[in-house]
Structure 1
């Protein structure tokens, strides 16, 4: 009966469109199960039940369960990255306010999409996953965004030759990720405003040394 329903649903669609639709159903199932029950509990059989498709179609799109997880992870990461990037280009504000707004956007997004939070902040570390790819797609990507931001708006290069802006950017991103992980694991006990305030203690330390947070900039 279910297959008959599926046939009616896909009638008139090309083979490639049907294949892409099935892949989309598995990704949505992955978001739901990886984000609620976790990777270890989300077996291929459970994912197929959630997607309302057979195992045959699972292996049509994904070789392994971790490949589906990677697709879900990348999609949620792209969404979060886009959300934060939009914050950098909206309105005339001080650099300090841009950083505050960016942190609030990060923590509010994770709070409002707790499937995203679990996938990005918890489940990724329990998956047989290429850790170099994880770094490049997450920490490295956000560090590069922060590094470009710092290079663009620093009044002058640091006087101390030992100061490495790339290392600083990586460290600041790491602080935010570690705070977010603890927050998610502990059940979102603090508000996004409280997390942002604690992160800003560290960002302000950098600002005091460099003058970065004192500027006011316009978008673009």
Structure 2
């Protein structure tokens, strides 16, 4: 009777999870360094030390792998931003400033994360558009929740302004990723806070 374990004492499920994690780690570096377009499945497999056949046991293709990497980056960022907002003073201005500051600081702490979230996911094509829109929605909802009733005088506009705020943050991070001389993070933060205050009149 077979036990379903290999010579390392891992079950089939554990081997699959291990290969998947190694591919995620390889993709996190290669998609950010060489870029999504230039990173082949063969190169990913070589970096992860698995076979091409094993790749397709974990993911349907490069786009599926990029989706998984991107969603992990987004989840980690959402958690960090939510925590920062939760620990900030209760007024809307302080909460949103804390969220903006943490978003920029957390994302840029590892330039691979910044590049994947704001540049390479777009290069992956239309197949990831829905996932990118879902991420934008998540960050937009955080801004709206942070504002609470502070800007109730803008019926119907708060959501659109929050959406515009997320768009501004993304463009600032794209500038940071692509710039030959990256602007200081405090400049990005103060610019984003200024945009927020002008949008919401705080």
TM-score above 0.5, yes or no: yes
1:187–1:33 distance in 2 versus 1, CA, 3 Å: same
The alpha-carbon deviation at position 187 of structure 1 amounts to: 4.3
**1:157 and 2:155 aligned:** no
Which structure 2 residue ranges, 5 or more long, are not aligned? 1-5
In the alignment, which of 184, 187, 193 is matched to residue 194 of structure 1?
A: 187
Deviations 1:152-191 (A, max 9, x none): 241x621x65x52111111111111111111211146211
Q: Please give the residue correspondences for 1:161-200 in structure 2 after superposition, counting only pairs within 5 Å.
A: 163-187=156-180, 189-200=182-193
- Which residue does 1:111 correspond to in 2? 108
Q: 1:67 to 1:42 in 2, by over 3 A?
A: same
Contact in 2 for aligned 1:143/1:173 (Cα 8 Å): yes
Change (3 A) 1:134 1:207: closer
CA deviation digits over 1:26-79, x for unaligned, max 9?
Answer: 111110101211101110010001101110110111111111111111111111
Residue 35 of structure 1 aligns to a residue whose secondary structure is helix
Larger radius of gyration: 1
| Separation of aligned partners in 1, 2:75 and 2:51 | 28
How many residues of Structure 1 are paired with residues of Structure 2 in the alignment? Answer: 196
| TM superposition shift of 1:110 | 2.4
8 Å Cα contact 1:111/1:188 also seen in 2: no
1: CA distance between counterparts of 2:180 and 2:107?
Answer: 12
Asked if the contact 2:77/2:106 (under 8 Å) is kept, the reply is: yes
Q: Equivalents in 1 of 2:96, 2:114: separation in Å?
A: 20
SS in 2 for 1:38: coil
- Residue 184 of structure 1 aligns to a residue whose secondary structure is helix
- Which structure 1 segments of 5+ residues have no match? 1-6, 214-220
Q: Which residue of 1 aligns with 2:85?
A: 88
Q: Is the 8 Å Cα contact of residues 30 and 47 (structure 1) preserved in structure 2?
A: yes
Partner residue of 1:15?
A: 12
